[in-house]
Amino acid sequence: MHPRIKINIVIFCLAVTTVPIPACSSRKPVGKDLETRKGEVEMSIEKKPFGALPDGTAVEIYTLENSNGLEAKIMTYGATLVSMKTPDRNGVLDDIVLGRDTIADYIEASPYFGAIVGRCANRIAHGRFLLDGEAYTLAANDGEHHLHGGVKGFDKVVWHAEALRHDGAVRFTYLSRDGEEGYPGNLSVTVTYALTEENELKIFYKAETDKATPVNLTHHSYFNLAGQGSGDILGHELFLNAEFFTPVDAGLIPTGEIEAVTGTPWDFTIPHSIGREITRVEGGYDHNFILNKAADELSHAAAVYDPGSGRAMDIYTTEPGIQFYSGNFLDGSITGKRGKVYRKHFGFCLETQHFPDSPNHPDFPSVILRPGNKLSSLTIHKFSVR
């Protein structure tokens, strides 16, 4: 597809200060399956009501907490990460993901805050694709294009949830019926969130289908390591383990070209602030980066550091790409958690994924899942401090 050039992966190695969070290292996490902790004390997992949909469907929220004080809250609506609390360099906990206070707020307005998106994440040009000689038409819910699964994608359905206390995890399952949002096949999806004692939030994805269908699942949290609603993220330092990216047209659809990041504003192979080159990118960053990795290999994809708080986050994934989005469409119209107003660039997304519009680009890694095959993917967010 394009020449691969090996480089040394640059990883932020973060020294622990007053906060009991282990430093990161260049050691890659291994294994795609959930590691059980049989014989250990069960992690406390709290389940509470989180309101209901207008049709009366109950929504629940689960709280995971490890012994270091990290806390993740995930609700069944959209299998959504509602809150992620981590300490700064002084040990002060804060919520580092954008979101809303109530389920009614999420229904009213949420640009995919913290949700699992699918059946096909990102954009599909004109909501159309051809599969095995048959044409399919999807909802055009992003101008003339299809975005993140359609009008009622996986972010807007209630998932079944099960607490896995030996694993410090919650497993979410959903059956997407044949024809839902125009997609073919009955698709069975499992997403498991696990919070580890190594301060990792692991997200496991699995899926099976009874008919060939495009599947591209991702997690869509908007992060602000200084704390949600605290200001913009332009001063955050970003590293992306990617020497190539997929340029887009005015509708943010990939042109099909593969370009090197060298000498462009898309070059984050050496960490620098998000804001340093952003004015050279029309509209801001909303691009897919091609990760330097072998297919299905779990490897280091990105690192982000906030100099003010000392918080850092490393991302590992088995996915071939990562969408970096700099919160360009946040415009102050949404009041988030604790009354915080979310303005432009108040959060960033790093969505591990296959490439946008892949069903229409045969040269991109395929997103077509066929009967008898199983989708299996893992993304890890590892939190630490300087």
Catalytic residue among 237, 351, 354, 361: 351
**Three-class secondary structure assignment of the chain:** CCCCCCCCCCCCCCCCCCCCCCCCCCCCCCCCCCCCCCCCCCCCEEEEEEEECCCCCEEEEEEEECCCCCEEEEECECCEEEEEEEECCCCCEEECECCCCCHHHHHHCCCCCCEEECCECCEEHHHEEEECCEEEECCCCECCEEECCCCCCHHHCECEEEEEHHHCEEEEEEEECCCHHHCCCCEEEEEEEEECCCCEEEEEEEEEECCCEECECEEECCECCCCCCCCCCCCCEEEECCCEEECECCCCCECCCCEECCCCCCCCCCCEECCCCHHHCCCCCEEEEECCCCCCCCEEEEEEECCCCCEEEEEEECCCEEEEECCCCCCCCEECHHHCEECCCCCEEEEEECCCCHHHCCCCCCCEECCCCCEEEEEEEEEEEC
Q: Is 108 tagged catalytic? A: no
Q: Is 220 tagged catalytic? A: yes
Catalytic residue among 219, 220, 345, 381: 220
Residues carrying an active site annotation: 220, 351
